[in-house]
Amino acid sequence: MSSKFSVNRIVSDHISTLRINGTDNRDWSAIFTNFILPLIVAILFIYYGIIIVSREFTVILTAFSVFAALLLNLMILVFSIVNREKEKDEEKRDIMKIQLLKETYENIQFTVLTSVIIIVVILFMLFIPFNTYLALILSFVVYYLVFVFIVTLFMVLKRTHSIMSKE
């Protein structure tokens, strides 16, 4: 894949934010919460036969289209705060705040990416003929990504709260 379209850096930057504060050690509980827990929930949904059908497509498409647009606006806000912080004098600059802002920015990028992938999968589901096995697989993918999105959105919410409460 062309480097212009590669999203590997967005994913790796997001994963790099899942570490214990102030260290380079991975926060395994955060990794579990962000990736393994959504996997378990998605498996349970599929196990109990909860498959996404056509009436849910519109709701999911609308919700994640709106989320993607709002998160893009939030990215611009965080980017402007980072630039404002970087322009301050060396002695007034808060290094921890800048790091938190950068990590929040990376998490927001990941949520936008997740939203776009969910939209693409749902659109794919709209235009293919119904097949039970394919519907199960794609429903699993959508459930997994939705729960990854929700967990990451909570992390972004917590971080933006921390940033804005210091402003």
Higher pLDDT, residue 31 or 89:
31
Top mean-pLDDT range of 63-72, 77-86, 123-132:
63-72
Q: How many CA atoms lie within 13 A of 47 on its CB side?
A: 6
Judge whether 59 lies within some domain.
yes
pLDDT tens sequence across 154-165: 999 998 888 777
Judge whether 131 lies within some domain.
yes
Q: Which domain holds residue 145?
A: 8-166
Judge whether 48 lies within some domain.
yes
Structure-token match 């893009």, residue found = 72
pTM: 0.89
Judge whether 3 lies within some domain.
no
Judge whether 155 lies within some domain.
yes
Q: What whole-number distance in Å separates Cα of residue 42 and Cα of residue 52? A: 12
Give SS3 for 4. Answer: coil
> Using 50, 70 and 90 to split pLDDT, how confident is the model at 132?
confident
Amino acid letter at 41? V
pLDDT for residue 1 is more than 70:
no
Judge whether 2 lies within some domain.
no
Higher pLDDT, residue 11 or 88:
11
Q: What whole-number distance in Å separates Cα of residue 107 and Cα of residue 150? A: 12
